[in-house]
Amino acid sequence: MSASNGSTKHREMLGQALADARLGRFDVMLVWALDRVSREGVEATLAILRRFAGHGTAVWSLKEPWTETADPRMAELLASLYAWMAAEESRRRSERTRAGLERRKREGLPVGRQPGATDKKPRRRSGYVARWERERASR
């Protein structure tokens, strides 16, 4: 699975945070919500949290205040539940998006950027855009 630009940047920032934690530059990493740490599932999220803990860094969440006070075993259980929910929501969002695109195609409605769109930002021609263009050209 290829990473989009946002997830690549996220991984780079996470890697830098882990490197800083390893060097002891901070004791607590504050995140908006645990589902922002990873949406790759329980194992990936717990692995990240354990790596921070191994460097003596706690991961606290603004949206889940129990991260600051829970017993470590209870925190791991709750983090597992939140990680599972985040992965499921990500999967469902992808399913809904694909279903909506397929429905628009079946109905003969336009899909993608419409002529006259006001957002003129140039787009990268790699990743999913390049794959879509290759599939379109092969039809």
Q: Which tokens belong to 83?
A: 């990680």
Indicate whether 42 belongs to any domain: yes
In terms of residue numbers, what domain contains 57? 7-108
Indicate whether 115 belongs to any domain: no
Indicate whether 137 belongs to any domain: no
Higher-confidence residue of 88 and 121: namely 88
Chain center to CA of 26: 23
8 A C-beta contact, residue 5 and residue 12: no
Query: What is the per-residue pLDDT across 17-65, written as a single tens digit (0 to 9) for each?
Result: 999 999 999 999 999 998 888 888 899 999 999 999 999 999 999 998 8
Indicate whether 51 belongs to any domain: yes
Indicate whether 129 belongs to any domain: no
**How does residue 105 score in pLDDT terms, banded at 50, 70 and 90?**
very high
Indicate whether 134 belongs to any domain: no
Count of domains in the chain? 1
| CA 83 – CA 42 distance, rounded (Å) | 5
Query: Against a cut of 0.75, is the pTM above it?
Result: no
8 A C-beta contact, residue 37 and residue 86: no
Residue 50: the pLDDT is 94
8 A C-beta contact, residue 99 and residue 107: no
Indicate whether 124 belongs to any domain: no
What's the CATH number where 34 sits?
3.40.50
What burial class does residue 40 get, using C-beta atoms within 10 Å of its C-beta: 0-12 exposed, 13-18 middle, 19+ buried? middle
Query: What is the per-residue pLDDT across 124-138, written as a single tens digit (0 to 9) for each?
Result: 666 777 777 787 888
Indicate whether 28 belongs to any domain: yes
